[in-house]
Amino acid sequence: MEFESGHQLKVKDSDDTVTIRDKLGEGGQGIVYRAAYRGGEYALKWFFPHALKKPREFFKNLCQNIADGAPTPSFLWPILVTEQTDGSFGYLMKLRPPAYQSFTDILNAKMRIVRHSARVNAALTIVESFLALHRQGKSYQDLNDGNFFIDPAGGDVLICDNDNVAPYGVNLGIAGKCRYMAPEVVMGEKPGMQSDYFSLAVMLFLLLFLSHPFEGEKVIKSVCLTDEHEKKHYGSDPVFIFDPSNRSNKPVRGVHNNAITLWPLYPAFLRDAFTASFTKGIRSKEARIPDSEWIRLFVRLRDEIVTCGCGCENFAGAPGAEENGEVRCLGCGAPMVRPLRLNVRKYSVALYPGNRLYACHTSKDGADFRTVTGKVVRNRNNPNLWGIRNLSGSVWYVEMPDGSRKSVVPESVLPVFRKVKIDFGNAGPAEIV
């Protein structure tokens, strides 16, 4: 029941047609083809006639999603839907560029995200996308690692398989993968915003630690994992592998190597956030971390990244790397100078050459974590002297430790010394400590 190359499909409510080129792949719900439309190349997903449990609702939802548009550019969103023929229908979307690898492959170590900054960028983008989706009043419904594609080099994310995105309460009859579902959903409750927060926490944990938060000793004690067991380990009795008060599900040497080696690398504040999500957050939905808070956490994590001379990225505040109060580079073992920090509002940005300031640091717009407003640079004549270059477009006012004041116009640099105070405009008091 596959289409031949050259087969034409009519676009709904239009005279345009879509022409099939060749098959790209196949899933449980349908087939994805490469197709031509108005001179460009796209992907077309065509559903198997009986694959959808509630086809009419699904179709309606799909059309609504197309009308609403993608929440952020990270979503590979349906562009148009075809006429219904042969008992089914399909929708058109952009092709996924080859640089993006499936998150599944990253979990299986077929591809690696090496740099912390790429990983943090991916995390921020994923959270941002959830946030945008929630703002539209919609939820994910079928979250799993197959939906996310990441460019391992920079951490850019593309979210695919968006035909299951639907408003809260609308149940399209899709069941998500157990591993990603909140415990109450595994046990039968309807998914909602707070169960999305839980799934988000699981995704982020997988991204950072390449290990599942509930898969430890307890889960491999049984030789066979039946459906009953799954319900227990993800639904009625999930235990966090790093639960400080319950070690029954701790990671197993030889099996959960990633969790064991990667967990100690991250700063305490992040580990505490995950611990809270997977201990209190299991039963208490209110204790779960919402999207906006995850963004703050990952911006804070990004502020910790310092790049050693050897090229390897480290976390300035990571306990694992510290011996005698020194941070040692994970790549080359060289001791790294403890950086000074810029404290502004809730942020404490590690000031290390290459690190950046963003709009959320230097302006009132706490949500903008992408616009670069400053960069830490090294003085060419004196490499031990560092400064912050003003890339914000407006003037900063600086008070030096000796009391003298100066203004720092855009593109010029202010020196990094302890006790320097900076006025960015309307970000509140900022000081280098």
Contact residues for other proteins, defined by CB under 8 A: 109, 217, 220-225, 252-255, 257, 260-261
Helix %, strand %, coil % of the chain (to 5): 30, 25, 45
Which single residue is written with the structure tokens 């080859």? 98
CA angle 64, 188, 54 (to 5 degrees): 35
Give the residue with the Cβ less far from other proteins, 155 or 251: 251
Least CB distance to other proteins at residue 264 (A): 13
Backbone dihedral region of 173: left (phi > 0), alpha (psi from -120 to 50 degrees) or beta? left
DSSP for 278-327, please give it.
HTHHHH-GGGSPPHHHHHHHHHHHHHTEEE-TTS-EEETT-GGGEETTEE
Give the residue with the Cβ less far from other proteins, 216 or 238: 216
Give the residue with the Cβ less far from other proteins, 193 or 260: 260
Of 210, 184, 216, 215, nearest to 197 by C-alpha is 184
Which single residue is written with the structure tokens 């944990």? 205
Of 188, 51, 161, 154, nearest to 104 by C-alpha is 161
The CA dihedral of 331, 336, 340, 342, to the nearest 10 degrees, is 0
Residues whose CB falls within 8 Å of the CB of residue 333, separated by 6 or more in sequence, listed in order: none
Structure-token pair, residue 53: 């449990």
Structure-token pair, residue 379: 């003085």
Least CB distance to other proteins at residue 233 (A): 12
Of 265, 258, 374, 384, nearest to 314 by C-alpha is 265
Least CB distance to other proteins at residue 216 (A): 10
- Are the beta carbons of 64 and 91 closer than 8 angstroms? no
Give the residue with the Cβ less far from other proteins, 225 or 433: 225
Give the residue with the Cβ less far from other proteins, 330 or 422: 330
Least CB distance to other proteins at residue 257 (A): 4
The CA dihedral of 193, 195, 201, 204, to the nearest 10 degrees, is -80
Least CB distance to other proteins at residue 180 (A): 17
- Are the beta carbons of 82 and 18 closer than 8 angstroms? yes
C-alpha–C-alpha distance, residues 114 and 284, integer Å: 35
Least CB distance to other proteins at residue 130 (A): 29
CA angle 261, 265, 268 (to 5 degrees): 125
Give the residue with the Cβ less far from other proteins, 109 or 409: 109
C-alpha–C-alpha distance, residues 158 and 167, integer Å: 21
Give the residue with the Cβ less far from other proteins, 221 or 418: 221
Element (H, E) at 171: none
Give the residue with the Cβ less far from other proteins, 255 or 391: 255
Give the residue with the Cβ less far from other proteins, 226 or 382: 226
Least CB distance to other proteins at residue 259 (A): 11
- Are the beta carbons of 291 and 127 closer than 8 angstroms? yes
Give the residue with the Cβ less far from other proteins, 224 or 409: 224
Q: Write the DSSP symbol of residue 250.
A: P
Give the residue with the Cβ less far from other proteins, 99 or 225: 225
